Chains A and B, each alone.
Chain A
């Protein structure tokens, strides 16, 4: 209800300014095959604990971010602009 999301461009901002898209997954290559694409489009891990998600600073700088959030505690351990690539963990 009350969380703040740290934006690397705007600082800590109320989560109402953001839109979450879901798991921060890397888009497969066009020819990666059906299995990889099914995985990307439909299958999610839903872990308890650390999770990387795409968040959009919709009512702010309008940059897409990768936010590291703990799904059990909602604690956010960090965020970075989406161009700074996904972490090895998410890939």
Chain B
């Protein structure tokens, strides 16, 4: 036990007692603790194993940059891997498990990797596992993954709710530290709509860890008073546990609020996380700084901690870091920690200040070693001593169990760089500063390099007031009052390379990248910052190098003998911290991601025993099995034969339906279809081909003229939405002078096909008017009265099967009863419902195409539709490009039928067509089978295929080759119309 809870102090509720578990052990903490502070209070410093070498690791920070204390939280569907213990609020019942160790944290076999470390240096993945490449999948990758795993995600569904929302404000303040609070109050008091957010559970930022007083009040109490006032202002929203993860165009900031990640039993009616998109007229970045580690040997041993983090645990959580502590600092901030440790009665053994001279006058009891450095820390799972190299080169070992380090401060400028601005190196600040150009985003406080509380309050207040004034609010800068006891750490020179280092000195703790690795990268020619990053993997872990990038750049700069300004930084991109998939997904999962579309005949089909298939969003009836049928083929064959012999009814409601109205509707259709529509008579339907501007077929369907200025268009199911959007583009963008209006009516009309030799007899029983061939010939399309005038519908004599066929459209709500009426009327004629499988067999038998054939690479003549390309029309979509060389070539693939020579053999859709006797290789490919089915009419498998010059090759013997399963079938090319090529049945 080294770290421990102090008897008093801290922002914790000592009355509360929260039980939690760590690797199965029961531990307790208090409300106000983070998981990290509670573990430290219990003397638990070893909390994880490192990624590559499996070295014991402790808690390094108290914030979002934590690279070591990554844990798996929760169980079942709530398992969350790689949670930073420093950001996780403690709750009663929390279950935490360490990661990347086997069999246990204390005894980890993977730590043997440390002995192999000469082989695991930078670039080892590339060098060691380069060859032979085929061993990657089976051997190297599983080995690396097992050895270098982070936490494991669960396969169970997440039981919790997530939500997304927008917010709009005058001023968004990112970071509720001294500058942020002052800015929010200055603008908020004047009535501006302010949102202030902070990633921690409490507003206050550095004030929560501060021992200074403000106007005589303790810093945390002062912060609470400010936050409380903000909460009372109706125009201000305070979001805690909320991380701004990205800054986007339009001054939109993305943020995730962890609304219920700190409770044991989330309220099921509220989200656990909420994704905010905040549109800010003005935004203020007050994110403070990240304190940098120092790169000495063993700087990763549990017990070594960032100085500011140690101060946070001490002051905010009342946790003493150890029994004998030391501070290794490059700047004055170490003295603030020294003062606070000594005030809390924690033994401070030594302060090692790398500077030979400093202005600060230390008056405490600890030894002060000026101009000295810690070269190495010693210890295994816990720190035991440090080796100090004095200014004169003398070394000594000092026994300590906790060491704070401060390598200077890097402003947290990530968001300011998300829109392309490049960070600027400042020798004065010894850090990268925000880009000079940050449209709409203003910075205040430590993130600008400002030091000290007074200056941060003043800067935040001034910026907040100015921005509010710019928006027309009479804002005054908030006055924080006098600050007492603040140790202001003015910038100091960075210390990149430390003399006398012997042990492993880490730069990127999470990816186990050491000082030597960066040196090696430079040596081997990968000194460019982007190359070094990838070669060493520095900055590529889940923390994205928050703690390590600047140090890595400093070391690269020294190795190359240039300024960090010349090395530059890698690109900052969202997200600032890892964001859960839940937050990104929000409510859009399952049926909220892919809703189910049901036809108005869905329940009717279900009632009649349909088996459904998902096609896109739609559920379509595939077939209607009957008693005794044991395979789908039996049902489908029966349905097909029944249509060809008697009559069948099929749901075609999912076809896209669009009403095209206006006095120029005919002219409009004439321009969007390749064939003529201008003179389509009222009461007639016509099959139309719609092309894309590049000449290829886009979609097909029938369009009927109901009146001079009213058409009813059908589209394929899959392209319904696309065709609507396309028509809108044509109407609005290409020919706005045409008087045409479009309305999607897919959902308003239910539609059923009634098909077969007895279709007329069936329908005549419910249609009031005469539908004989004379009165209602092929392609007639008219409004009809049904059931003695009780209902009106639209009847179309069109056929997809080659049979006498009608499509009947009725208002969707009447669909089910009409379909039952049709079944009733057709009973004596042997009517049966049929599904899309039979529909498909019938259309393949008739040689009709669908999007199997209209695959984006075919033009009308490829499908035998050359006559549907009008030569008389001056213009239609696709006309100009149809004459291109490739589109008039003689050997273009064209539609052809294909049948096996031996009717007992078969082939599959997608199989390739090879010339007879040709070797079975793709080089000999002549085309492919686009649709196939067993045809009860033909008595064998039949197919439609797109084959080179196919139209001219009827009768040719070919091989249908399935290269995937190495099967082939001898077959013959033929007319694609297998059923009634003379179209006699259509006109009966």
- Please indicate the chain A residues that have their CB under 8 angstroms from the CB of B420 in the complex: 72-73
Nearest chain-B residue to A30 (Cβ)? B875
| Alpha-carbon gap, A26 to B80, bound state (A) | 52
| Alpha-carbon gap, A28 to B879, bound state (A) | 12
Nearest chain-B residue to A37 (Cβ)? B880
Which residues 713-736 of B sit at the A interface, judged by CB distance below 8 A?
Answer: 725, 728-729, 732-734, 736
Asked if B419 is at the interface of the complex by the 8 Å CB criterion, the answer is yes
- Please indicate the chain B residues that have their CB under 8 angstroms from the CB of A87 in the complex: none
| Alpha-carbon gap, A41 to B250, bound state (A) | 31
22 contacts between A and B (CB under 8 A): A1-B248, A2-B253, A3-B250, A4-B279, A12-B279, A21-B729, A27-B693, A28-B880, A30-B874, A30-B875, A34-B880, A37-B880, A41-B693, A41-B881, A63-B728, A74-B249, A75-B249, A81-B732, A82-B729, A82-B732, A82-B736, A83-B733
Which residues 876-917 of B sit at the A interface, judged by CB distance below 8 A?
Answer: 879-881, 883-884
Nearest chain-B residue to A5 (Cβ)? B250
Instruction: Count how many chain A residues have C-beta atoms less than 8 Å from C-beta atoms of the other chain.
Output: 31
Q: How far is the CB of A66 from chain B (nearest CB, A)?
A: 9
Which residues 66-91 of A sit at the B interface, judged by CB distance below 8 A?
Answer: 72-76, 81-83
Question: Given the known A-B contacts A41-B694, A74-B249, are A64 and B728 also in contact in the complex, defined by CB atoms under 8 Å?
Answer: yes
Asked if A10 is at the interface of the complex by the 8 Å CB criterion, the answer is no
When the two chains form their complex, are residues B166 and A14 in contact, meaning their CB atoms are under 8 A apart?
yes
- Please indicate the chain B residues that have their CB under 8 angstroms from the CB of A21 in the complex: 729
Q: How far is the CB of B85 from chain A (nearest CB, A)?
A: 29
Q: How far is the CB of A21 from chain B (nearest CB, A)?
A: 7
| Alpha-carbon gap, A62 to B907, bound state (A) | 45
Asked if B463 is at the interface of the complex by the 8 Å CB criterion, the answer is no
| Alpha-carbon gap, A27 to B693, bound state (A) | 10
Question: Given the known A-B contacts A2-B277, A73-B249, A75-B250, are A64 and B880 also in contact in the complex, defined by CB atoms under 8 Å?
Answer: no
Asked if B9 is at the interface of the complex by the 8 Å CB criterion, the answer is no
Asked if B701 is at the interface of the complex by the 8 Å CB criterion, the answer is no
- Please indicate the chain B residues that have their CB under 8 angstroms from the CB of A63 in the complex: 728, 732
Q: How far is the CB of B466 from chain A (nearest CB, A)?
A: 23
| Alpha-carbon gap, A2 to B166, bound state (A) | 10
When the two chains form their complex, are residues B728 and A56 in contact, meaning their CB atoms are under 8 A apart?
yes
Please tell me which one of the listed residues B252, B728, B874 contacts residue A2 in the complex, with CB atoms under 8 A apart.
B252
| Alpha-carbon gap, A9 to B875, bound state (A) | 31
Please tell me which one of the listed residues A40, A58, A81 contacts residue B725 in the complex, with CB atoms under 8 A apart.
A58
Asked if A51 is at the interface of the complex by the 8 Å CB criterion, the answer is no
- Please indicate the chain B residues that have their CB under 8 angstroms from the CB of A75 in the complex: 249-250
Asked if B379 is at the interface of the complex by the 8 Å CB criterion, the answer is no
Q: How far is the CB of B254 from chain A (nearest CB, A)?
A: 6
Report how many A-B pairs have Cβ atoms within 8 Å: 74
Asked if B574 is at the interface of the complex by the 8 Å CB criterion, the answer is yes
When the two chains form their complex, are residues B246 and A54 in contact, meaning their CB atoms are under 8 A apart?
no
| Alpha-carbon gap, A83 to B731, bound state (A) | 10
Nearest chain-A residue to B885 (Cβ)? A34
When the two chains form their complex, are residues B250 and A4 in contact, meaning their CB atoms are under 8 A apart?
yes
List residues of B whose CB falls within 8 A of some A CB.
166, 246, 248-250, 252-254, 277, 279, 419-420, 574, 693-694, 725, 728-729, 732-734, 736, 874-875, 879-881, 883-884
- Please indicate the chain A residues that have their CB under 8 angstroms from the CB of B254 in the complex: 1-2
- Please indicate the chain A residues that have their CB under 8 angstroms from the CB of B246 in the complex: 1-2
Q: How far is the CB of A78 from chain B (nearest CB, A)?
A: 13
- Please indicate the chain B residues that have their CB under 8 angstroms from the CB of A43 in the complex: none
Residue interface mask A3-37, B partner, CB < 8 A = 1: 11000000010100001010000011010101001
Q: How far is the CB of A86 from chain B (nearest CB, A)?
A: 9
| Alpha-carbon gap, A15 to B246, bound state (A) | 17
List residues of A whose CB falls within 8 A of some B CB.
1-4, 12, 14, 19, 21, 27-28, 30, 32, 34, 37, 40-42, 54, 56, 58, 62-64, 72-76, 81-83
> 9 tightest CB-CB pairs across the interface, nearest first?
A2-B252, A2-B248, A74-B249, A30-B875, A82-B733, A83-B736, A37-B880, A64-B732, A64-B733
| Alpha-carbon gap, A68 to B844, bound state (A) | 47
| Alpha-carbon gap, A53 to B732, bound state (A) | 15
Nearest chain-A residue to B692 (Cβ)? A41
Q: How far is the CB of A46 from chain B (nearest CB, A)?
A: 18
| Alpha-carbon gap, A21 to B728, bound state (A) | 13
Q: How far is the CB of A49 from chain B (nearest CB, A)?
A: 12
Q: How far is the CB of B115 from chain A (nearest CB, A)?
A: 45
- Please indicate the chain B residues that have their CB under 8 angstroms from the CB of A64 in the complex: 728-729, 732-733
When the two chains form their complex, are residues B729 and A3 in contact, meaning their CB atoms are under 8 A apart?
no
| Alpha-carbon gap, A75 to B732, bound state (A) | 25
| Alpha-carbon gap, A75 to B248, bound state (A) | 9
Q: How far is the CB of B377 from chain A (nearest CB, A)?
A: 42
When the two chains form their complex, are residues A3 and B734 in contact, meaning their CB atoms are under 8 A apart?
no
When the two chains form their complex, are residues B880 and A32 in contact, meaning their CB atoms are under 8 A apart?
yes
Please tell me which one of the listed residues A28, A62, A73, A81 contacts residue B728 in the complex, with CB atoms under 8 A apart.
A62
Q: How far is the CB of A60 from chain B (nearest CB, A)?
A: 12
| Alpha-carbon gap, A8 to B954, bound state (A) | 57
When the two chains form their complex, are residues A2 and B732 in contact, meaning their CB atoms are under 8 A apart?
no
- Residue of A27, A54, A63, A74 with most chain B CB atoms under a 10 A cut-off: A27
Known pairs A2-B249, A30-B874, A56-B729; list 12 more (Cβ under 8 Å). A1-B574, A2-B250, A3-B249, A12-B279, A14-B166, A30-B880, A41-B694, A64-B728, A73-B419, A74-B249, A75-B250, A83-B733
- Residue of B250, B574, B879 with most chain A CB atoms under a 10 A cut-off: B250
- Please indicate the chain A residues that have their CB under 8 angstroms from the CB of B419 in the complex: 73
| Alpha-carbon gap, A12 to B252, bound state (A) | 12
Please tell me which one of the listed residues A27, A37, A76 contacts residue B250 in the complex, with CB atoms under 8 A apart.
A76
- Please indicate the chain A residues that have their CB under 8 angstroms from the CB of B253 in the complex: 2
Please tell me which one of the listed residues B248, B693, B729 contacts residue A54 in the complex, with CB atoms under 8 A apart.
B729
- Please indicate the chain A residues that have their CB under 8 angstroms from the CB of B884 in the complex: 34
- Please indicate the chain A residues that have their CB under 8 angstroms from the CB of B279 in the complex: 4, 12
- Please indicate the chain A residues that have their CB under 8 angstroms from the CB of B728 in the complex: 56, 62-64
Nearest chain-A residue to B744 (Cβ)? A62
| Alpha-carbon gap, A42 to B693, bound state (A) | 10
Question: Given the known A-B contacts A27-B734, A72-B420, are A56 and B277 also in contact in the complex, defined by CB atoms under 8 Å?
Answer: no
| Alpha-carbon gap, A1 to B249, bound state (A) | 9
| Alpha-carbon gap, A63 to B884, bound state (A) | 33
Q: How far is the CB of A15 from chain B (nearest CB, A)?
A: 10
| Alpha-carbon gap, A76 to B874, bound state (A) | 38
| Alpha-carbon gap, A75 to B419, bound state (A) | 10
| Alpha-carbon gap, A3 to B248, bound state (A) | 7
| Alpha-carbon gap, A81 to B246, bound state (A) | 31
- Please indicate the chain B residues that have their CB under 8 angstroms from the CB of A2 in the complex: 246, 248-250, 252-254, 277
Nearest chain-A residue to B734 (Cβ)? A27
Nearest chain-A residue to B671 (Cβ)? A30
| Alpha-carbon gap, A10 to B725, bound state (A) | 18
- Please indicate the chain B residues that have their CB under 8 angstroms from the CB of A12 in the complex: 279
When the two chains form their complex, are residues B277 and A40 in contact, meaning their CB atoms are under 8 A apart?
no
- Please indicate the chain B residues that have their CB under 8 angstroms from the CB of A30 in the complex: 874-875, 879-880
When the two chains form their complex, are residues A76 and B880 in contact, meaning their CB atoms are under 8 A apart?
no
Nearest chain-A residue to B695 (Cβ)? A41
Q: How far is the CB of B163 from chain A (nearest CB, A)?
A: 15
Q: How far is the CB of B740 from chain A (nearest CB, A)?
A: 13
| Alpha-carbon gap, A71 to B73, bound state (A) | 41
When the two chains form their complex, are residues A4 and B252 in contact, meaning their CB atoms are under 8 A apart?
yes
Q: How far is the CB of B527 from chain A (nearest CB, A)?
A: 28
| Alpha-carbon gap, A75 to B252, bound state (A) | 11
- Please indicate the chain B residues that have their CB under 8 angstroms from the CB of A41 in the complex: 693-694, 881
Q: How far is the CB of A41 from chain B (nearest CB, A)?
A: 5
Question: Given the known A-B contacts A30-B879, A41-B881, are A83 and B732 also in contact in the complex, defined by CB atoms under 8 Å?
Answer: yes
Nearest chain-B residue to A70 (Cβ)? B249
- Residue of A3, A14, A41 with most chain B CB atoms under a 10 A cut-off: A41
- Residue of B732, B736, B874, B880 with most chain A CB atoms under a 10 A cut-off: B880
| Alpha-carbon gap, A29 to B881, bound state (A) | 12
Nearest chain-A residue to B276 (Cβ)? A2
Nearest chain-B residue to A42 (Cβ)? B694
- Please indicate the chain A residues that have their CB under 8 angstroms from the CB of B725 in the complex: 19, 56, 58
| Alpha-carbon gap, A14 to B880, bound state (A) | 36
| Alpha-carbon gap, A5 to B907, bound state (A) | 51
